[in-house]
Amino acid sequence: MLTEAETRDNPGIMASHLNAEFRSTPIVWETIVQAHERIRPRIHRTPVLTSATLNALAGAELFFKCENLQKTGSFKIRGATNAIFSLSNEEAERGVVTHSSGNHAAAVACAAGWRGLAAWIVMPKNAPAVKCHAVEAYGGKITFCEPTVTSRAEVAERIEQQTGAVMVHPYDDDRIIAGQATAAKELLEEVPELDAVLAPVSGGGLLSGTCLGAKGQSGTVKVFGCEPERADDAYRSLTSGVLQKQESSDTVADGLRASLAPRTFAILQKLVDGVLLVSEQEIVDAMKRVWERMKIVVEPSSAVAVAPLLRPGGVPALGLTSKRGQQKPRIGIILSGGNVELKN
Amino acid sequence: MLTEAETRDNPGIMASHLNAEFRSTPIVWETIVQAHERIRPRIHRTPVLTSATLNALAGAELFFKCENLQKTGSFKIRGATNAIFSLSNEEAERGVVTHSSGNHAAAVACAAGWRGLAAWIVMPKNAPAVKCHAVEAYGGKITFCEPTVTSRAEVAERIEQQTGAVMVHPYDDDRIIAGQATAAKELLEEVPELDAVLAPVSGGGLLSGTCLGAKGQSGTVKVFGCEPERADDAYRSLTSGVLQKQESSDTVADGLRASLAPRTFAILQKLVDGVLLVSEQEIVDAMKRVWERMKIVVEPSSAVAVAPLLRPGGVPALGLTSKRGQQKPRIGIILSGGNVELKN
């Protein structure tokens, strides 16, 4: 394992263990290192927590990368900050526009505020009040649209044309993917000998970034996406080899209702080791376990990446084994966010 | 500020800035350093978290020492581990006994399990089921008593006599106080330039330990206890100079219903800079803020030490200023625990 300073000083030395698939993706390791340098002063280096109780349930050593404790309450600030601070001054003057009903909206508003830019945020008119308040608190200008994928894109495009603002897509953007990759980069820097990393998958920005951030540092780590059965488009896309859209999306994991984009699909086809599906009940049970045993607030989308580990049989039943002889497998989990509305 | 290695190698060098009050307490700095060495391999070094939103509300830089993320869900495992691993083999063979309705019970059961000792735990018969289950899961043997201070002590004393078990008092014990001091020790090691540290106060084990752990490393840091108005015995004891008992105890902060002991009272009289009282509504509001903004689960007793900072006027209104010129005051908070029963 290389030290952080070594990889920073000489990103090229990482290349030796990178396989042909990694090198064929459009995002090279150096891009991720640069993204990390760019965002590092502005974001939290989130803690990696462990739990003896959850280890016992999973039959493994679990390492939770707590992006729920990240600024704005999710990993989304990583990609948004990288994208916004990558803009040229000419681009920046035009402001930014995006569409999102959730964490990416708050992240873009927050990062734009840090750089002093205007941020137009298109949100579905049924978005939760708490998420709208967060965007407004960060200084974002909300335009409401119909709660359909088509309406979102249309309204955002109209604002783009009217204002000249730069589109910051939630996941179909190399700058976003490189930013999200820094969570797994930090996790592997702290816990180098991971056998696998699990992350939730929706549009695929986090999961493709996790593949790049993890496999850029370890030649043996596996990466799995985790997805609700009720929003299983990534699973269907990757097993069929053809990009699938999500028709219905009534899962409790409200952050996982988007579908892969061509860019994230292409990276995942090369690098991801599989997609694990979980039921609604498993999501709710896993979320409760994390709150109770780890004393941290995670949103349902985060619990999706915990649920497969807590099934009867735990990690061994998933077929994941340790590469270090008789030791228990070491599994990293990206806890993606903690933005839930708390009842009084 | 000394490095951890320096203090470990030569505890005596801390003495130069320690004032006469510190040196007159029964627990010397070396005792705390030894306690830390003893428990360090068995407990979490909990993260210190920050929140830009809470900083803005408080008008200060806040550093939260997250003992809610500690093993067994509270700081109590520090003192319990130190006490139990301080026992001679002869003492250990007799097992341990304690009385507690909450976090100390689980901590003693857990630490006794680590050393392979029997642990008799006296709990009031109205203790929450979730706390009883935790004690049993750690292998503790529960004896129920009437929900009065007198009954608790009587039943524990009877078990002590019948079994020969060693009493591990929740706070009236130097080994417990030295263990609890390690939370503030770690906090000051990580954030040396603190102007003040706030901790909740009940029996005074955590608060007296916090005074010792903080003032052992900084000649200028102030330490304040925080207490519910409805359980204000520490405030009354320290202002009157005479140890007061708590008559009623109907505060939502269920961990703060005990009264100071002679041992903790004596340390606090010498070292604490004041006690801040908070209302029930302030406790509930502060707890909700921490859950919402920091994405961590804290119990009401922890929120007691946050509430004074979030009042109108924030930290400046408390009269706390920075010793570093025009900068904002830097305040540490010991978040003592996260054991709450979650509703479905």
pLDDT digit string, tens, across residues A42-54: 999 999 999 999 9
Number of CB pairs < 8 Å for A and B? 43
How would DSSP label each residue in A67-118? GGGSGGGBTHHHHHHHHHHHS-HHHHHT-EEEE-SSHHHHHHHHHHHHHT--
Contact B295 A338 (CB under 8 A): yes
Candidates B44, B294, B295, partner chain A, best to mutate (most A CBs within 10 A): B295
Contact B73 A295 (CB under 8 A): yes
**Domains parsed from chain A with CATH numbers:** 4-74+173-335 (3.40.50.1100), 76-167 (3.40.50.1100)
CA distance B288 to A284: 21
CA distance B62 to B57: 10
What are the chain A neighbours of B50 within 8 Å (beta carbons)? 44
Strands A119-124 and A96-99 come out as parallel
Per-residue confidence in pLDDT tens, chain B, 344 aa: 334 444 444 333 344 456 667 777 788 999 999 999 999 999 999 999 999 999 999 999 999 999 999 999 999 999 999 999 999 999 999 999 999 878 999 999 999 999 999 999 999 888 888 889 999 999 999 999 998 878 888 999 999 999 999 999 999 999 999 999 999 999 999 999 999 999 999 999 999 999 999 999 999 999 999 999 999 999 999 999 999 987 767 889 988 888 999 999 999 999 999 999 999 999 999 999 999 999 999 999 999 999 999 999 999 999 888 888 889 999 999 999 999 988 75
Nearest chain B alpha carbon to A68: B295
**How close does chain B come to A151, measured CA to CA in Å?**
31
Confidence (pLDDT) at A245: 86
> How far is residue B30 CA from its own chain's centroid?
19
Using 50 as the pLDDT threshold, list the residues of chain A that sit under it: 1-16
Helix (H/G/I), strand (E/B), else coil: A315: helix
Q: Spell out the SS3 assignment of chain B.
A: CCCHHHHHHCHHHHHHHCCHHHHCCCCCHHHHHHHHHHHCCCCCCCCEECCHHHHHHHCCEEEEEEHHHCHHHECHHHHHHHHHHHCCHHHHHCCEEEECCCHHHHHHHHHHHHHCCCEEEEEECCCCHHHHHHHHHCCCEEEEECCCHHHHHHHHHHHHHHHCCEECCCCCCHHHHHHHHHHHHHHHHHCCCCCEEEEECCCCHHHHHHHHHHHCCCCCCEEEEEEEHHHCHHHHHHHHCCCCCCCCCCCCCCCCCCCCCHHHHHHHHHHCCEEEEECHHHHHHHHHHHHHHHCECCCHHHHCCCHHHHCCCHHHHCCCCCCCCCCCCEEEEEECECCCCCCC
Question: Residues of A181-192 as b/e, b for ≥16 C-beta within 10 angstroms?
Answer: bbbbbbbbbebe
CA distance A3 to A9: 10
Tell me how crowded residue B3 is: count the other CB atoms within 10 A of its CB.
9
Contact A296 B342 (CB under 8 A): no
Residue B132 makes CB contacts below 8 A (sequence gap 6+) with B123, B142
Tokens of A75: 């990993």
Nearest chain A alpha carbon to B291: A297
Contact B69 A296 (CB under 8 A): yes
In this structure, the dihedral spanned by the alpha carbons of residues A184, A189, A194 and A198, taken in order and rounded to 10 degrees, is -10
Cα A7–Cα A13–Cα A16 angle in degrees, nearest 5: 130
Contact between residue A198 and residue A331 where contact means Cβ atoms under 8 Å apart: yes
> How far is residue A149 CA from its own chain's centroid?
20
What are the chain B neighbours of A298 within 8 Å (beta carbons)? 295
Tell me the one-letter amino acid at B236: R
**How close does chain A come to B171, measured CA to CA in Å?**
24
> Does the annotation mark B101 as catalytic?
yes
Query: Which residues of A sit within 8 Å Cβ distance of B?
Result: 44, 47, 49-50, 52, 68-69, 71, 73, 288, 291-292, 294-298, 338-339, 342, 344
ipTM above 0.95, yes or no: no
DSSP A14: G
Active site residues of A: 76, 101
Contact B73 A297 (CB under 8 A): no
What are the chain B neighbours of A288 within 8 Å (beta carbons)? 342, 344
Tokens of B304: 């007691």
Confidence (pLDDT) at B5: 45
Nearest chain A alpha carbon to B284: A344
A63 to each of A54, A73, A197, A330, how far by Cα in Å?
10, 19, 9, 8
Catalytic residue among B74, B101, B202, B208: B101
CA distance B106 to B139: 9
B11 to each of B30, B42, B82, B192, B207, how far by Cα in Å?
5, 22, 18, 17, 22
Burial of B263 (0-12, 13-18, 19+ CB in 10 A): buried
Q: Which of B69, B295, B297 sits opposite A73 (nearest CB)?
A: B295
CA distance B20 to B53: 39
Half-sphere exposure of A196 (CA within 13 A, CB side): 28
Tokens of A124: 């579905």
Confidence (pLDDT) at B297: 97
**How close does chain B come to A296, measured CA to CA in Å?**
4
**How close does chain A come to B138, measured CA to CA in Å?**
11
**How close does chain B come to A313, measured CA to CA in Å?**
20
Q: What is the pTM of this model?
A: 0.90
